[in-house]
Amino acid sequence: MRILLPFVTALAAAVSVQAQQLSGTGATFPAPIYQRWSVEYNKQVPSIQVNYQSVGSGAGVKNFLQGVVDFGASDAAMTDEEMTKSPCGAVLIPATAGSVVLAYNLPEVKNLRLSREAMAGIYLGKITKWNDPAIVAANPDTPLPATPINVAYRSDGSGTTFVFTQHLAAISPEFDEQVGFDKSVTFPVGIGGKGNEGVTALIKQTPGTIGYIEFGYAEQNGLSCAALENKSGQFVAPTPESGAAALASVEMPENLRVWPVDPAAPEAYPITSFTWLLLYKKYDDAAKLKALKDFITYGLTEGQSLATGLGYIPLPESVVAKANAALGTIE
Amino acid sequence: MSAPAAAKDALTAPVRTGPDYFLWLCGAASVGAIFVLGWIFFEIFQEAIPALKEFGAKFLTNATWQPNRDRFGVLPFLVGTAATSLIALLIALPPGLAIAIFLNEDFLPKPARQFIRFVVELLAAIPSVVYGLWGIFVVIPLIQQLGSWCAERFPNVPLLAGPAYGNSLLTASVVLALMILPTITAISRSSLVAVPRTLREGSYALGATRWEAIFGVILPTAAPGIVAATILALGRAMGETMAVAMLIGNSPRLSWSLFSPSGTLASLLANQFGEASGLQVSALMYAALVLVALTLAVNFAGEAVLRYTEKRTAGIR
C-alpha cells in the first residue's frame, strides 16, 4: 500500500489538473487571513496549493524584486522607486485591511477616550501622567489615576508602526518633525516589544501601559482599546464598522496605493490601512498565472467574509471592483 | 634484535601507500573553519561599506539612531552592550566562583557535590528564549518594584533615577548573570581541580588553615582558568540576543539609570534587520561588525591575560 501511494497520487494528479504550487512571502499582519484563504481555497480546488510565509513587509518586497516568489505582500505597499526595479513590472492589489488600536492597561478605566493632542503628546513624551489635563478633558466622567503613563512601541520594523506613525505625523506637525514616519522610527519615550505579541505582553504586564497593536491582537487578548478622536472631532472606538467607514472615505487612485491617513468621515476610526498583494505584470507560466488569478479572485470575493472573524476589515465593494480590474490587466 | 624493537617493527610493518586522507580531512576541516570566519567577516564588511563611508568613526560616538531619517549612531547600543555584560559579570562572578570553590572542597559528600554541579551545568542547557520568558514573568515584576522603591528613596542618584521600568538594563543584566553562571562555575571548577594536590598538602603542612590554603595558594594557582572563565562568560553575555531583546526594553536612548530601558548591539540587529532597507541594512551591518570586533577584542585580551598569568604561575605547577 505504502509503495502504491505515490503512484496513486501521481496518477490522480495526471488525470486531474496538474498540481499547481504558488509561493509568496511578505507582511506578518495579514498572514493569518492569507493562510486561512490558502487552506479554504485548497479545500475547494485541491490542485492549487498556496504557500505564504510571513517574513515581514520589507523582506516581502525584497523577495518580490529578486523574483524568487510568485507574489509578495506588504503593509507599506511599494514605493514608485521599488516598482521600477521589478523585473516584470508590479501591480498592487489591496487584499484586506485592518485598524491599529491603542490598547491600554488601566483596570478601573473602561472607555478611555484620547484626543488627537493627547495621543501625539503621549508618544512625544510630553504627556506623562494618566490624569494629565489633556486626557481628563476628553474623559470628564472617568476618574483617572495619577500614575505615570508607560508607553510601549514596536522595537522591530513593522507595517503597524508605519501606519501608526503616518497618522500621528499627519495630525501633529511636531511629531512629524521630531519623529517622522516609517516602518521603524525612534520614539522619544517608552519601551519596545518585538512583534504584536511583544507589545501585547508589555501592555498586559504593567498597569498604566499603553501601546499600539493590530486590532485583531487586542481583541484576541481581551485588551481595552481607546476611542480616538478623528478629523471631524468625534471619538470613535475601533470596530469593523468604524474601520470600514474609514476605508470607504478614500478614493482609490489608479495605482491602488492609498492610505486613509486621516479620514474625514465622522464615523470613521482614524487609524486604518489596507494591505497589499504584490504581483508581477507578466507571468511566463500560463498555468501558474491562472492559478494565481483564481486564488486572488477567491480572496477578493468569498475570502472577504472571513475577514471580520479574524480581526480584519472586509474591503468596500468599490475597492474590490477596482482590485479585480487590476487583476485582469495581468497577463 | 631486542624485544621492544621487534614489536615496533611489527606495528609499522604494513607499509601504507597513497595519500594520507585522514590528514587531508583534518587539514581541510581546520582550514575550512578559518575560511568561514574570514568569509563572515568579509561579507559583513562588504555590506557595511556604504555606512562606513557615510558615517566613519562618528558611527561609534553618535547617539541618535533614526532609521527613517537615515541618521545612525550606535553609542547607546555600545553602552548598553558594555553595561549589561559587565553588570552581569559583576553579579555572576562572586557566586560562580564561590560555587566552584564549594564544589572543589570536601564540605559535602561527593554524590551531593556531583548533584549540585550537574544542576548548575544544566543552567547552560536552557534555551535563551526560555530565560527570556522566565525574565518576563519573574524578574521584570521584581525589578520594577525595586526600581520604584529606589526611585522614591534616592531621586537624586542618576543610576537609580526614575521612572522605573520593568524592562530595563538591570533586568537584562540579572538574567544574563544567570545565563553565564554555569560558564564561570564549570571552567573555574576544572581549573581548581587541576591545582596539584602537593600544593594543597604543602600549605597544610606549613600550618595554613583551610581558608588560607584556598585564598593564598589554590585560587592564585587556578587564576588563569578563572580569568579564562570570566572572559568566556563576558563574550557570551555580549553576544546574547534573544533573552536580552525580550527584556531590555529596546530603547535607543542613552540613560544613566539602571531602571531605564536600553538596547544592545545584538538586540538591535535582531529587532531591526528583518524590515530594514537601504542605508539601514548597511548601518546594521556596521553595527554587526562592531559587535564582532568587540567580541574578538575581548577574546584576544582574555588570551593575553591567560598567557601572562600562566607564565607567572608556571613555577609553582
Tens of pLDDT, residues A275-326: 999 999 989 888 899 999 999 999 999 999 999 888 899 999 889 999 999 9
Q: Is B7 within the bounds of a domain?
A: no
- The per-residue DSSP string of A257-284 comes to ----SS---TT--SSEEEEEEEE-S--S
Mean pLDDT of A231-236: 93
Chain A hits for B270, CB-CB cut-off 8 Å, are 194
At residue A250, the pLDDT reads 86
Q: Where are the beta strands (DSSP E) in B2-149?
A: 65-66, 71-72
Find the CB nearest A186 among B163, B252, B271: B252
Cβ contacts of A56 on chain B, cutoff 8 Å? 274-275
pLDDT at residue A122 above 60?
yes
Nearest to A155 among B163, B166, B250 (CB): B250
Angular region, B219: left φ>0, alpha ψ -120 to 50, beta rest? alpha
Residues of chain B contacting A53 with CB distance shorter than 8 Å: none
Q: Which residue has the higher pLDDT, B217 or A56?
A: B217
> Collapsing DSSP states into helix, strand and coil, what is residue A287?
helix
Predicted pLDDT at B6: 53
How much is the pLDDT for B102?
92
Domain contains B25: no
Find the CB nearest A191 among B136, B167, B276.
B167
The pLDDT value given to residue B238:
93
Q: Rounded mean pLDDT of B129-143?
A: 92
- Chain A residues inside the 8 Å CB shell of B66: 180, 185-186
Tell me the average pLDDT across B250-271. 91
Helices A286-300 and A317-328: angle between axes, nearest 10 degrees: 180
Using the Cβ of B140 and the Cβ atoms of chain A, whether some distance falls under 8 Å is answered with yes
Closest chain B residue to the Cα of A194, Cα to Cα: B271
| Cα B107 from chain centre | 29
pLDDT at site B262: 93
Look at residue B142 and give its three-state secondary structure: helix
Q: ω before B163 within 30° of 0 (cis)?
A: yes
Return the pLDDT at A14. 47
Residue A59 is nearest to which of B166, B270, B274, comparing CB atoms?
Answer: B274
C-alpha cell at A33: 487571513
Confidence tier at A7 by pLDDT (50, 70, 90): low
pLDDT at A6: 53
Give the mean pLDDT of B269-292: 90
Is the per-residue pLDDT at B1 higher than 50?
A: no
Quick one: cell of A135? 486626557
Q: How many CB atoms lie within 10 A of CB A221?
A: 15
pLDDT of B2 above 60 = no
- Counting runs of H as helices and runs of E as strands, what totals does chain A give? 13, 12
CB A163, CB A213: distance < 8 Å: no
Over residues B77-130, the pLDDT tens digits come to: 999 999 999 999 999 999 999 999 999 888 889 899 999 999 998 998 999 999
Are A186 and B65 a contacting pair at CB < 8 A?
Answer: yes
> Taking residues B32-37, what's their average pLDDT?
94
Instruction: Please tell me if residue B166 touches chain A, with a CB cutoff of 8 Å.
Output: yes
Q: Which residue of A has its CA nearest to B280?
A: A184
Asked if A200 contacts A103 with a C-beta cutoff of 8 angstroms, the reply is yes
Answer yes or no: is pLDDT of A228 > 50. yes
DSSP bridge partners of A114: A228
> Is A198 within 8 Å of B165 when comparing Cβ atoms?
no
> Are the beta carbons of B66 and A58 separated by less than 8 Å?
no
Which of A57, A128, A181 has the CB atom closest to B275's CB atom? Answer: A57
Q: In chain B, how many domains are there? A: 1
More confident residue, A249 or B172: B172
The per-residue pLDDT for range A24-52, each reduced to its tens digit, is 998 888 888 999 999 999 999 999 999 99
In this model, does residue A3 exceed pLDDT 70? Answer: no
**Summary mean pLDDT of chain A:** 89
Any idea which of A113-117, B12-16, B66-70 has the lowest mean pLDDT? Answer: B12-16
Q: What is the mean pLDDT of residues B216-231?
A: 88
Full-model pTM = 0.83
Structural domain includes residue B36: no
Residue in the structure block whose three cell numbers are 492549487: A48
Helix (H) or strand (E) holding A52: strand A48-54
Give, in degrees to the nearest 5, the angle at Cα B108 between B106 and B114. 95
Task: Note the pLDDT tens digit of each residue in B173-215.
Answer: 999 999 999 999 998 998 898 888 888 889 999 999 988 999 9
Residue B35 lies in a domain: no
Distance CA B103, CA B96 (A): 11
Q: What's the complex ipTM?
A: 0.79
Chain B: nearest CA to A158, how far in angstroms? Answer: 7
A5 pLDDT above the threshold of 60: no
How large a percentage of chain B has pLDDT more than 90?
A: 56
Mean pLDDT, chain B, as a whole number? 88
CATH of the domain at B280: 1.10.3720.10
Residue B4 lies in a domain: no
- Percentage of chain A beyond pLDDT 70 is 95
A15 pLDDT band (50/70/90 cuts)? very low
Structure confidence at residue A13 (pLDDT): 47
C-alpha B287: how far from chain center:
19
Local confidence band at A331 (pLDDT 50, 70, 90 cut-offs): confident
Q: Which residues pair with B244 in a beta bridge?
A: none
Q: Can you tell me the mean pLDDT for B251-277? A: 89
Any domain includes B18: no
Asked if residue B193 is part of any domain, the answer here is yes
Q: Looking at residue A4, what is its pLDDT?
A: 52
Contact (CB, 8 A) for A323 and A274:
no
Residue B274: which pLDDT band, with cuts at 50, 70 and 90?
confident
Residue B20 lies in a domain: no
Q: Which residues of B touch A193 (CB under 8 A)?
A: 250
Q: Specify whether the CB–CB gap between A310 and A33 falls below 8 A.
A: yes
Segments forming the whole domain that contains residue B202 = 51-316
Q: How confident is the model at residue A1 (pLDDT cuts 50, 70, 90)?
A: very low
